[in-house]
Chain A
Amino acid sequence: MASTSRPNSPLKRLLTELQTYQSDPNDALEELGPVDDNEMTHWRAVMKGVPGTAYEGGCWLLDVQIPSTYPQKPPTVKFVTPICHPNVDFKTGEICLDLLKTSWSPAYTITATMTSIHQLLTSAEPDSPLNVDIAQLFRQGDYVGAEALIRYYTETERYVGRRRY
């Protein structure tokens, strides 16, 4: 009876998520939070590279748009900083991840989603590519070339923004 009239707006949950993140930060991320304090449905994240891989030392800015039906519907996440990855569109930053589309569950949080995207960096799926060039290298088995290309873009396209906190 206490829970019969819960607000449908995602604001409360987003606040909870933000507090959770601040008390227990995600290792994959440099920073996570709303772009503007007045607009809780638009977040940004800065993702760190995976040490020991071609993405080592990288730093990418991601844009997170949260729909008004969140968490029933998944957030829209895009890479703002270009990244060379088979499942990420180099120009638009669109990410091909089932979690963000069909297999979304409201039990996932923004932090968990970010961790999944971080995982995607090391487990690419070249058979459903958004970046055809790098995916082609993988399919042909040119792992040296692919790695070199990734390293190159990780170096040149590194995000160097102001830290807000």
Chain B
Amino acid sequence: MTAQGVGIFTIEFPDPYTLSYYNDEFVTLGSNISFQYPITSNIQTLSAKDVERGNDPYGILYVPELRSDGCKEAEGSYVPTNATRLRNLPSGTDYALIGFLPWFSPQCVLEYFQSARTSPVKALLVYQPGTTNAPPPGNNDPSWSLGDGGNWEDANKFPVYALSSTSGTIVMTQLSLYSGNMTDAPHGDELASLFSPTDYVRLWATVNTQAGSQLPSLWVFLVIVLGLLLLIIFVTSSFMHIVQRRRRRDLQRRVVEGEVDLEALGVKRLTVPREYLEKLPLYTYSVPGGDLEKTVPQESPQPRDGAPETTEQATPAPGVPTAQNDATVSNQASSAFSQPTCPICLDDFISNETQVRELPCRHIFHPDCVDTFLLSNSSLCPMCKKSVLPGGYCPAKITNIMVRRERMIRRMRARGESESIEPTGQRTGGPVSLRDRLASTAFGRRVFGSPEQTQSGPNDIEMASPETAQPQASGALPAPAPATEITPAPDLAHTRSQAAPECTEPETRNRREWARQRALALVSNSRAPATDDEGNSGSRWRRGLRKVFPGFR
């Protein structure tokens, strides 16, 4: 504890021989009739040994006794002969003492220390003799060295404070004045009239060590708590970052392996890079009169088994109905080349003149129409929602949001799968909310389409005449098309696509299934809009939180 200030006062206390008072029965004298000397600057703490917090040293000032004659002789030039010594205090009582000594030679100072250790000394005040009012030298100054390597600090049981030379000289002079009888002291007569003349008048010192010393500990505590909190946050954050990075890599790997189609899932809206678009076949359209007439630079247009054909039939061809009316032949061919119209601009292709772009799903478009769409809007075929991109194509950067959506959709899918395997009405006790949700939509469907509809055949649009049912079916189906594709229950999709062309009896069931498919699609889509401005949702606060704790919902 470093000293902030030293106060020197004059006290008056009775002689314990005449009055059996304790030594704390003293009176501090006023500055008008006695010596008072507060020192608040130029104090150097040489040793803070054994100073306890909140326990400032205090005591009666005295000059310790020297032993060797050499030192006693040398002392004469610094200490007045009548300076207060131990013998000038009432004997037999252990007063709290503060030693006061000039630091004039290492040998003699050590002797001072030795003598002080034998008395109940609370602290030592020292000064280097001189006439400057400058602050005492720093602790490491060689002038404080006693040649014992600093052992004196350990040997002492009290702190040592240094005053400036002038302050030391002033106090030493005063010590010589207040050492004898009361009447010999300054204002002695006045004092004698106030107090008993046999009382003692001596100098007294208190040392103020660091004020407000409790405060730092509170701050230290707070800082520790804060630091711990920060550490926890940091550890959690880095852990979540690591987990998230692993998930990103995992998703990337699965995308590259073709397990996951980001856009078909609604995870992320992709666009087709121009260099890939250029590779798609581009050729002159010719009337699909028969396979022989085709002048196609590509491989044979035979549809691969099942998949493209069913999607073709099950998917919306909003522009096609007209085409089917005037060219019924094309219906039976059912190859993608039969499209006589560009589905985007609804213009007919002119045989042997129009350039057309064919997508991997074999749908053909005007290059101008489909290129803008694929470059800026989506990577899915406008007709069948089949991805144009090659299997292993992965967008440059997989973001955390994409990971999150993919996981959510995968979970939904897992639940939806178990649901769609069960018959619609049955509810096995599952804990899943989606189950209830689906059940409720099925119920809602039943309410909407009340039972009477089956009887009132002609009115019901589902039971409409076959020729109107055809375009209606095709018009009604746009929405479920992606759902059909993404549904992991192939049997369902299969029955559906088979039923669609017939479209007479199983329509009602179809519609119910359609509603279910649609509910599934809605569930995933509403949660994961394939917008491009991902990460901008939510407040700045939430965004920050997401950045620190990725994967946090």
Contact = CB atoms under 8 A, between A and B. Distances in A.
Interface of A: 1-4, 6, 12-13, 16-17, 20, 23-24, 26-28, 50-55, 71-73, 96-99, 101-103, 105-109, 111-112, 115-116, 119, 121-128, 138-139, 141, 143, 146-147
A123 B472 contact: no
Given A112-B475, A127-B523, A141-B440, A51 B355 contact: no
A139 B345 CA distance: 42
Nearest to A51: B459
B331 interface: no
Interface residues of B, number: 70
B235 interface: no
Interface string B466-477: 001001100110
Contact of B450 (A27, A52, A103, A126): A52
B321 interface: yes
A141 to B, nearest CB: 7
B478 A72 contact: no
B456 A51 contact: yes
Interface in B359-374: 366-369, 372-373
B298 interface: no
Contacts of B464: 27
- A-B pairs, 6 with minimum CB distance: A52-B453, A112-B318, A115-B475, A107-B382, A143-B447, A123-B515
Contact of A123 (B345, B443, B518, B526): B518
Looking at chain A's contact residues, the main secondary structure is loop
A3 B441 contact: no
For A17, A72, A119, A147, which residue has the most chain B Cβ atoms within 10 angstroms? A119
A86 to B, nearest CB: 9
A107 B460 CA distance: 27
A12 B345 contact: yes
A62 B369 CA distance: 28
A105 to B, nearest CB: 4
Contacts of B472: 27, 115
Contacts of B523: 127
B452 A4 contact: no
Nearest to A87: B522
A105 B452 contact: no
B531 to A, nearest CB: 7
Interface stretch (B21-29, B168-176, B248-256, B346-354): B346-354
Given A71-B344, A72-B373, A102-B525, A124 B321 contact: no
